[in-house]
């Protein structure tokens, strides 16, 4: 889905459920923007889309949600909402690879791109079931079409194509919800509340949002999957990128007290955190060993 739809949805949810604290809505909105920085921009390590499909994977996974949680739970919620919306899209528009990079440990599919059984490999014990139906693949954009071998996608797919009815429904529906919330009750008390908050802490949020938007602008000066959107800015793409990073670091400094307080709260009782870090890999290892015992082939 498009960035405005993600941002509007995050703001709408934040204002409706946490309207007494506009900071929460702004944190959620900022989080909704971050995942799409894994687009095929010039500052992202180059890979052929049909081979690796890093977009909707690198920054669209549960591990980024966990990293976002270290900053703030509501920032992490924004990341989750972005991924949830993208999960509604079909294979034509990539869906979301929620468990990247762990999903890339499985390299082979049980079927090729024509859905014919693929030749087994004695060195491969864990396979994935090829879900990219040939009709979907042929209808996709050229950079998404699979070749003679199945690509390692482990994505969640939905029912919608990007930039069509669902995307615009999220955008205009969310804007309508925001407008109603700001105007009600009569007298625009909510709007005044948000305005007063921005006046008191506006610098913090101007810096945060400006940092992310400048990084997007720097990327749009040269996209490898499409023609450059704003080629006239290509000569200043590196200065823009550096400026975006500086502003992002500045936002981190301005927001550091809340980040430190959040980290202190997380580590107040470290036993569940450490148990999870140890238990999840151990369980995964045991499951793989069990389902591949005796030379068996396991299917993800």
- The pLDDT of residue 229 is 67
Left (φ > 0), alpha (ψ -120 to 50) or beta: where does 295 sit?
left
Q: Give whole-number Cα distances, 113 to 64, 107, 119, 143, 151, in Å.
A: 30, 14, 13, 15, 9
Section 54-76 average pLDDT: 93
- At residue 215, the 3 state secondary structure works out as helix
- The pLDDT of residue 284 is 85
Distance CA 42, CA 219 (A): 6
Position 231 pLDDT exceeds 80: no
Position 159 pLDDT exceeds 90: no
Q: What angle do CA 88, 89, 92 make, to 5 degrees?
A: 160
Mean of pLDDT over the chain: 85
Percent of the chain with pLDDT over 90: 39
Percent of the chain with pLDDT over 70: 86
Angle between helices 237-254 and 256-266 in degrees, nearest 10: 60
Section 218-235 average pLDDT: 76
Position 263 pLDDT exceeds 80: yes
- The pLDDT of residue 126 is 84
Position 234 pLDDT exceeds 60: yes
Q: What is the pLDDT of residues 67-82, one digit of tens each?
A: 999 999 999 999 999 9
Position 174 pLDDT exceeds 90: yes
Q: Give the residue with greater pLDDT, 149 vs 165.
A: 165
- The pLDDT of residue 91 is 75
Residue 7's pLDDT band, with cuts at 50, 70 and 90, is: very high
Section 238-247 average pLDDT: 95
Position 133 pLDDT exceeds 70: no
Distance CA 155, CA 146 (A): 15
Section 19-41 average pLDDT: 92
Residue 145's pLDDT band, with cuts at 50, 70 and 90, is: low
Range scoring the smallest mean pLDDT among 6-10, 138-142, 238-242:
138-142
Helices (H), 72-164: 73-86, 134-139
């Amino acid at each position: 889905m498009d960035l405005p739809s993600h941002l509007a949805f995050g703001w709408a949810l934040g204002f409706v459920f946490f309207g007494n604290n506009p900071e929460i809505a702004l944190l959620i909105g900022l989080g909704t923007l971050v995942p799409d920085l894994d687009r095929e921009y010039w500052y992202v390590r180059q890979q052929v889309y049909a081979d690796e499909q890093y977009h909707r994977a690198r920054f669209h996974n549960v591990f980024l949600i966990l990293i976002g949680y270290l900053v703030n739970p509501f920032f992490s919620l924004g990341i989750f909402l972005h991924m949830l919306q993208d999960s509604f899209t079909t294979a034509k528009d990539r869906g979301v690879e929620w468990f990247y990079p762990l999903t890339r440990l499985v390299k082979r599919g049980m079927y090729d791109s024509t859905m014919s059984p693929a030749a087994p490999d004695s060195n491969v014990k864990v396979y994935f079931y090829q879900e990219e139906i040939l009709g979907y693949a042929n209808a996709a954009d050229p950079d998404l079409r699979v070749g003679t071998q199945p690509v390692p996608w482990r994505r969640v797919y939905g029912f919608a194509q990007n930039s069509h009815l669902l995307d615009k429904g999220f955008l205009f529906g969310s804007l309508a919800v925001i407008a109603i919330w700001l105007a009600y009750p009569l007298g625009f008390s909510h709007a005044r509340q948000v305005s007063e908050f921005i006046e008191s802490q506006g610098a913090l949020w101007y810096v945060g949002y400006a940092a992310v938007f400048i990084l997007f602008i720097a990327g749009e000066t040269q996209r490898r999957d499409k023609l450059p959107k704003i080629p006239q800015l290509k000569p200043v793409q590196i200065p823009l990128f550096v400026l975006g990073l500086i502003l992002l670091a500045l936002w981190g400094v301005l927001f550091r007290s809340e980040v430190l307080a959040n980290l202190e709260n997380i580590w107040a009782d470290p036993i569940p955190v450490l148990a999870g870090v140890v238990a999840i890999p151990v369980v995964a290892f045991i499951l793989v060993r069990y389902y591949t015992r005796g030379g068996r082939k396991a299917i993800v």
